Chain A
Amino acid sequence: GEDVEQSLFLSVREGDSSVINCTYTDSSSTYLYWYKQEPGAGLQLLTYIFSNMDMKQDQRLTVLLNKKDKHLSLRIADTQTGDSAIYFCAEGNQGGKLIFGQGTELSVKP
């Protein structure tokens, strides 16, 4: 079945770049998403990329998609302590259902 995998933890220093990786299995995915979850809060849509794109940049965020390898990454430039959160990768198809990864907990140390 469809599956999305992420590493569970990432620790970086403030000011460094963070790269969070994700692999997925469904080649028919139309959109791929990154959501951010702060403690005790819901999921906030950070960015998304259409499956026919390779890259999308939005201020400090860069999303790279390697469709051949089914690999998605989220790069956060100049990471700040306020970026500490859990980041979820998700794939979606035309049915409107999302499959989420387990989430990557990003810890930013001052």
Chain B
Amino acid sequence: NAGVTQTPKFQVLKTGQSMTLQCAQDMNHNSMYWYRQDPGMGLRLIYYSASEGTTDKGEVPNGYNVSRLNKREFSLRLESAAPSQTSVYFCASSVTQGSGNEQYFGPGTRLTVT
């Protein structure tokens, strides 16, 4: 039982390049999330998927797209990377989206955009 896995662990992009961050969970959770974490800002929700087949914007969705490929996998795409997207990206999952459900986090992807 690996929990939540993310790839890659580290990535350096040039401005304007695109990439997809991958996330998978093996806990049979319905809900999945993408956050970014910046110094002094805490984690901020980019997009979430309450259940397979649905996605919704979070607090900071601009510049990102997501795909809920199946129940296990939720990917985050940067179409044209900008230096402001330099951050640590965490994927998380929970049984459902409702209140009271703890979220389990993956190990993170450290992205630098030059």
Partners in one complex: no
Residues of chain B touching chain A, judged by Cβ–Cβ distance below 8 Å, are none
Residues of chain A touching chain B, judged by Cβ–Cβ distance below 8 Å, are none
